[in-house]
Amino acid sequence: MNRRLTLIVAAVAGLGMVAGCAAPSAPGWTFAPAASPTSGTLAGASPAATLGTLEIEAFDLGFTPAQLTVDRPGRYEVRLSNTGLVPHDVTFPDGAFAHAGPGEQVGVVVDVPAGGVSFLCSIPGHAAAGMEGSIVVRGQAAGGDDHGGPLPAGEVAADPNAPAYAPRDASAPARLPGDVHDIDLVITEQQMTVAPGFAQAVWTFGGTVPGPVIRVKVGDTIRVHLKNPAGSKLSHSIDFHASQVAWNDEMRSIAPGEELVYEWRADYAGVWMYHCGTAPALHHIANGMYGMVIVEPRAGLAPVDHEFAIVQSEWYLGPQGQPTDLEKAMAAAPAPDFVLFNGVADQYKDHPLEVGTGKRVRIFVLNTGPSIDSSFHVVGTIFDTVVKEGVSLERGNDGAWGSQAVDLAPAQGAFVEFTTAEDGLYPMVTHAFNFVGRGALGLIQAGDGDPAS
């Protein structure tokens, strides 16, 4: 890169301030599931020594009753019935813990002190979604204990030792050959650097965020073999917006160690979202479980010189190395720490997409949210072709109509086409400009990037 270009890059980078730190994290009290519970399940407990039995139902997502009252402090047997579709647990601050799969009933013995005790479901996201409760002693003030957990509220600071992020190739893949496609998709729960200095415990389809781009044509049959490895902590599922299937069949959640086959036919062309729909779906999407499906018309799309696939999404940072923060994501006016393209904040500012000057560029763009709208714009270009959610603007139309930005609510997709007028840099942004400084900035470099050369 010559000096002039370096200066240009520095100037363009000024379009957005690099997000320096995250908004305050405000987790409720929480704590890790006890590896060795201080109280066993019913089989190992001594119910005879308890003062009584407390029945609690766990559903998706809450406890009923969420507040229980006992007459005096002491040891109680808690029986948990899971009537939900995904696993839950009941976890107490002293480590007493019992895990119940869907339809199961389990028990645990817990000490209820005079001041009462709180409990929650420790499966990530469940407490924040409402799975909290307490046991109070009659005549005592409600509110339970206050020694719940090690996680302080506060900012998530950048960690200089966080691993470097892995840049994602933005090139759109070729359409899959043939008419019937068997696709293995393995769910992972893993660490990922989502911006320089910030690592999170993400959940993925296929080991990347976003998951793989799947590109087919109208009329194709797609059989996705979804596998949730035995080592996973959570149930997961998949929902292809390009499909027409029953929610409670193919989109059902599968527990760790389970698999399912999700078969569908591509009846409609478009740029579609897929995502995990397991409760709380907001957390599973916010934590990385989404991707793009491109369904071309049966006759295919006209060839162009360059094709890219761009997914806009949000990160609501949890503590370093932990899952993203569901409480932040749940806010009525959500304020993501990062809004970004293809999983990592600002990655294409650091690694521009290279195109030939005057060549036709097609970008498939999808907003997976979970909650923020996109106004997708490429500075210095006009889209002469836009196909968004079944509505098209065609190149060469009689009125010479063009498009400057494509509005994409969460779960909407489009493709746009344009050419670059001269060598230079063409920033790719969401024109919701408060987010450009939070990672939603990439560069398209035409030629050598230097208009003067």
Applying CB under 5 A, the residues found at the interface with Cu ion are: 236, 276, 278, 284, 289
Q: Measured from the CB of residue 125, what is the shortest distance to Cu ion in angstroms?
A: 10
Nearer residue to Cu ion within complex by CB, 170 or 289: 289
Q: Measured from the CB of residue 287, what is the shortest distance to Cu ion in angstroms?
A: 8
Q: Measured from the CB of residue 245, what is the shortest distance to Cu ion in angstroms?
A: 18
Nearer residue to Cu ion within complex by CB, 96 or 276: 276
CA–chain centroid gap for 242, Å, is 19
Lateral strand order in the sheet of 270-275: 214-217, 290-296, 270-275, 239-240
Nearer residue to Cu ion within complex by CB, 142 or 261: 261
Alpha-carbon gap, residue 49 to 261, rounded angstroms: 48
Nearer residue to Cu ion within complex by CB, 283 or 360: 283
Q: Measured from the CB of residue 237, what is the shortest distance to Cu ion in angstroms?
A: 6
Nearer residue to Cu ion within complex by CB, 290 or 364: 290
Q: Measured from the CB of residue 347, what is the shortest distance to Cu ion in angstroms?
A: 24
Q: Measured from the CB of residue 284, what is the shortest distance to Cu ion in angstroms?
A: 4
336: nearest Cα among 4, 22, 20:
22
Alpha-carbon gap, residue 99 to 79, rounded angstroms: 11
Q: Work out whether strand 374-378 and strand 424-430 pair parallel, antiparallel, or are unpaired.
A: antiparallel
Q: Could you give the 3-state DSSP secondary structure of residue 315?
A: strand
- Alpha carbon distances (Å) from 75 to 71, 135, 185, 221: 12, 12, 46, 57
240: nearest Cα among 248, 251, 252, 229:
251
Nearer residue to Cu ion within complex by CB, 278 or 375: 278
Q: E strands of 174-277, at which residues? A: 180-195, 198-205, 214-217, 221-227, 239-240, 259-265, 270-275
